[in-house]
Structure 1
């Protein structure tokens, strides 16, 4: 080999060794498509309700074999921002994940002044634990983010009656803590007899001072553990998922759904700058604390279908958010998401089948 060719080959080899490490550390490797993403088949929209935005679709199979989904919804006249100050949680049912869902009833609505969930009820996350149905959700008392708190409603059946909590399940940290602003986006698993509650939060000072950032503050995920479902939950001092130090920009995640497969804990969530703001992410862990590098879990709707032109009032049109899984025999069968648009140009569920 000629000296020049040898030098060029050596430099190229060195570059190939170094670049993936740099991209890997910065979270910028856009080729990280997961096996989960490759299995997604779009089914289409569901729960399109005239006069409402529909968001946060959390599904579960009932003993009757039907699919029960718990949704958040608010009046379309409130615009997209109605989730924070006038949302309610409802129950809908379908014979199969791909058949028509029918709204049954509203089960949690804002209770008014004096209650911790006075102004909104949002972020439903349904699961079956210890012989009861557990509906984790977020409520707030002033129509703003700083009073968002996680609560837990329980029922013996999916049709209720639901026991509503008098107090939140998880409070924010003390002033100055990374999670002193709120607790929201709940997800829970039971592992080795312990109840592991995952939640999103951020620091108030950081939020108030981040005026130059595209997305204010920096959303991170924490974990709190309890010996009993009802708590008390003891929080880890530091977040278990924090992308704030990765390269340039403001990298965050939100909307996490957590589940177990075998001896692994898995999480699917929305990307907020790690790859971009349109994708979803998926990661794995053995203990819920140390996670694998994020991979792409899903893409924007344009990747799967052709949509009509959006309207000026829909600033997130085309984005897929709030991923929740319909589990069957311990494995994900369908992915339920929320996306702006649809028949009434508000927002609705969008469902994917997970094939293979």
Structure 2
């Protein structure tokens, strides 16, 4: 009888454990499910390579793309500049307009462009050529027309590789993304690195806020907003937007956070780092506290049956207040800046 009761108790515990076991699977978002393959665009000139497209329509419906271009003989950390192309449609052809930002003393990299009222806003990574690689900072510029020069903020760099965050010192701020929040304030989400973890440098997602587009910007007191440093992992390349009363953040999953959150962490060597896996998308009611992520986009091999390469720098092209295309940078066999995906009937 005692043996029978023991078996019953053990069976009950097993059933209870199974019933209570949480499904840790990172599911594919409806955003990702809406993505339809487009094409690779913007091949580089001989001796150069292009990276990271930020697309936007002007007031007359002309498509403009701002992106980084780097000489093959140089390095993006020292020699990147931001260039400007136009086209009638996302498929091109694209025509070179001008070099938006270039400097013999600084590198300009990873632009992201938005429209606020009658103004256009560009945020970007800026770095002095002579400083250590880690000392990257963030700048902002505005213009009334995409065909006119951009005016850099007198507060630049608006987010410096200095200052304090969560009891530690900021040593890196880069890859910014800009939005206007529901209260009319201006937010810049960005990749941050602090000295909190001593010799280890983890990429985290932080936020700075201002009452004015040009700044000054103040870091949110409870930064970082998203961090996996306690797991020995990190993420980067945030693209933030506010849509239908919700905040969203699309990021590159450079160290396979997805597998770790599913309870199956994986060791990656240096060759495996970067956007060689699906990106993630987060959702939030306030843009501060973020839900568990879902898959935000898949890989180049998924969409085009190409050899797996790094798909990074997500940027959305908006039309009439709705997301129309997702643009992604890609180190692929195709010598272009990357590819776009149609956002079809996202709900």
Does TM-score exceed 0.5, indicating one fold? yes
Task: Answer yes or no: is 1:163 the counterpart of 2:156.
Answer: no
SS of structure 2 residue aligned to 1:255: strand
| Aligned pair partner of 1:338 in 326, 329, 344 | 329
Are the aligned partners of 2:40 and 2:334 in contact in 1 as well (CA < 8 Å)? Answer: no
| Aligned pair partner of 1:184 in 169, 174, 199 | 174
Are the aligned partners of 1:179 and 1:201 in contact in 2 as well (CA < 8 Å)? Answer: no
| Aligned pair partner of 1:321 in 312, 320, 324 | 312
- Pick which of 289-298 and 182-191 moved more: 182-191
Distance across 1 between alignment mates of 2:334 and 2:248 = 33
Taking structure 1 as the reference length, the TM-score comes to 0.82
| 1:145 paired residue number | 133
Aligned pairs for 1:257-336 (under 5 A) are 257-272=239-254, 273-275=256-258, 278-307=277-306, 318-336=309-327
Segments of structure 1 that go 5 or more residues without pairing to the other structure are 24-28, 113-117, 211-216, 309-316
Task: Answer yes or no: is 1:55 the counterpart of 2:54.
Answer: no
| Aligned pair partner of 2:218 in 202, 211, 234 | 234
Are the aligned partners of 1:85 and 1:143 in contact in 2 as well (CA < 8 Å)? Answer: no
Are the aligned partners of 1:123 and 1:185 in contact in 2 as well (CA < 8 Å)? Answer: yes
Are the aligned partners of 1:240 and 1:288 in contact in 2 as well (CA < 8 Å)? Answer: no
Distance across 2 between alignment mates of 1:76 and 1:306 = 27
| 1:221 paired residue number | 205
Cα gap change, 1:169/1:243 in structure 2, threshold over 3 Å: closer, same or farther? closer
| 1:68 paired residue number | 64
Please tell me the root mean square deviation across aligned C-alpha atoms, in Å: 2.4
Segments of structure 2 that go 5 or more residues without pairing to the other structure are 260-274
Taking structure 2 as the reference length, the TM-score comes to 0.84
Cα gap change, 1:103/1:6 in structure 2, threshold over 3 Å: closer, same or farther? farther
Are the aligned partners of 1:84 and 1:144 in contact in 2 as well (CA < 8 Å)? Answer: no
Cα gap change, 1:289/1:7 in structure 2, threshold over 3 Å: closer, same or farther? same
Distance across 2 between alignment mates of 1:220 and 1:93 = 33
SS of structure 1 residue aligned to 2:73: helix
Cα gap change, 1:14/1:335 in structure 2, threshold over 3 Å: closer, same or farther? same
| Aligned pair partner of 2:33 in 31, 38, 41 | 38
Cα drift, residue 172 of structure 1: 3.3
Distance across 2 between alignment mates of 1:303 and 1:57 = 20
| 2:103 paired residue number | 110
Distance across 2 between alignment mates of 1:239 and 1:339 = 30
Distance across 1 between alignment mates of 2:193 and 2:66 = 26
Cα gap change, 1:355/1:102 in structure 2, threshold over 3 Å: closer, same or farther? same
Q: Kindly provide the CA deviation profile for residues 23-52 of structure 1, in whole angstroms up to 9, marking residues without a partner as x.
A: 4xxxxx34x111111111111210011332
Are the aligned partners of 1:341 and 1:348 in contact in 2 as well (CA < 8 Å)? Answer: no
